[in-house]
Structures are given as C-alpha cells and as structure tokens.
Amino acid sequence: MTVRAVDAVVTGAGGFIGGHLVRALAAEGRSVRAVDVKPFDQWCQRTDHPGVESMVADVSLLPEAQRALQGGAGEVYNLAADMGGMGFIENNKAACMLSVLTSTHVLMAAHEAGVDRYFYSSSACVYAADKQTDTQVTALREADAYPAMPEDGYGWEKLFSERLARHFHEDFGMATRVARFHNVYGPWGTWDGGREKAPAAACRKMAEAVLDGNPEIEIWGDGEQTRSFTYIDDCIDGVLRLTRSEFGEPVNIGSSELVSINQLYALVADIAGIEPTWVHVPGPLGVRGRNSDNTLVQSVLGWQPSTSLRAGMTETYGWVLEQVKARRAGTAYSN
C-alpha cells in the first residue's frame, strides 16, 4: 500500500467552497492539507481542525504546486481560481483566464506525486451561450458544452482545464473527476467587495435596508434573467460522491429550481420581513437564462440537492445580517 503524506489536499481552501470542503473532510477524520494563496487572516473559514495542515502557497507556480502536493495524497481537490460573481468575471477576463496556470500546475503536480483521485471544480459558465438566450431556458445537459461557445474569459479557462484533466486520464491513466458548479451559495461566502454572487449580494442589500430603514434596493437589469442556485451543503455532498465514484465525465452539480433574479430578491425580502422599493439599474447581466439538468448526475451518483432555495437563503441571510452588524460595530463576527 502506498503511504501518502495526507489523505487529501484542497487548493483554494481559503475560499468559500474550499473552506466548507476542508471542514467536511476533517469531520470524516481525514488528514488534510489546506492550501491557498491568501494570508491566513483572509481565509473565509478557520482551518484549525484536528488533522488539518494549513499552507499559504501560490499554486499558479509549478514549484509551489509541487510543494503543496509533496508526498502525495489520496484525493486532490483543485478549487483554486481567480473568480467571483458576474460583476467580477465580466470585467476581469484576463485575470480569470490566467487561472489556467493554476489548473495546469496543480494537475501536473498531482500527476507527478502519483495521487489517487483528482477533482477539478469547473463551472456552468462552460455551456454554449446560444443555449442560454431565453429566461425560460431548457435546462443544460452536460453535452450542451459543445460545440464550444462558453462565457468569455472565465468559461473558456474552465472548459480548457476540463479537457486537460480528460487528457491526463487518457494519456497517463490518472483518475480525474470534473463537476460543473451552478451558482453555489451559503454562509461563509464572499458577501461584499465586488466578487460576491447574486444570493450574497441580495442578502447584504436587504440587511443594509433593514438596519438603515431605507427601502430602496438596486437590481441589475430588468431582473428577469433566470438562474438556479445550489446550497453549499448540497454542493459538498455532490463533490465527495463524484470524487469517490467511478464516473469520469463532467457532471452538473447544481439545483434545478429555476428563479428570476427578481424572484430571488423578493424571497430574501420576505425572509428579512421588509417590503422594498425595487430600483433597476444598468449592470453586468451574463446570459439570459441558465438552469441545471440533473438527469445524468442523478443516474450515475444518485445525487440531487436536498435544500430548497428558501431554506438555504434563510440560513445565508441570517449569516450575512450578522456580518453586516459586526462590521458596523467594528468587531469580527464568527460562528
């Protein structure tokens, strides 16, 4: 039996999904090396769990990726990327595409270290734009990524890195797994600063409206663009199932509960107990509609989300509200 330095390595561990994944692996009793480029005080979650080794490393550099994978691991989860919500990815295409260095070097280092399983976090942004032009979009099947017409910048990097993982499997026999995430949200996510996604932005705006007594809430565009949103606990369950499965093709990890952005904001307003005045303003919109077809993932993994949008947003709003209160009080909130 091969002796590994750790059971799992998580890159991007200081981020939202990575932090939750480290916590889940630690709860299983796994030894984990948590890796991120950010200083420890900027990580979304503390990783001081038993069996967790935290490391600051820039895995876009091959020597740093090799250091992060030193000694090998049973499972490698590559979630490291320079990304954010639509406001970020539409205005930072070059930065998003430079994540190809991270994707490439972590994969190379994992192969060199002889890891058992390699997971890559892709995105629904790989899907062809001409299949997402209507608010009542037909849910996207995995085959809809081709012919290729992904989101400019971010989507192209993700699609290329998917193919690279595929070819490492074909050429070297490396067990690679790819999930296409659909708008993952929940507590401990980015909620301000320009990288936040729609659920966190809606929660922050609603929390500020509650605290300020100002009913005006801004929404980008007409708000009729549609999306599905995946609660973080469901995402982590899907990631672990996929990584440990024998299915090697990309699969959707997403909810099929389609809502408009207007409906999302109205839901959060109801959770917050306020009746806002909606103000529609220009802003980055992305595709007109996007939803996840979960036929394949249900078939091969028996997975589907178990958290309704209302339940997930109730948890998320409560957490964001406490963050906003803590920031205004000049204290650091944690739970």
List the catalytic residues. Answer: 154
Spatial contact of 79 and 11, defined as CB atoms under 8 Å apart: yes
Spatial contact of 59 and 113, defined as CB atoms under 8 Å apart: no
Spatial contact of 232 and 16, defined as CB atoms under 8 Å apart: yes
Q: Give 299-305's long-range contacts (Cβ < 8 A, gap of 24+).
A: 300/245, 300/247, 300/251, 301/238, 301/241, 301/242, 301/245, 301/247, 301/251, 302/241, 303/237, 303/238, 303/241, 303/242, 303/253, 305/230, 305/231, 305/234, 305/254, 305/255, 305/256, 305/257
CB within 8 A of 146, min separation 6: which ones? 128
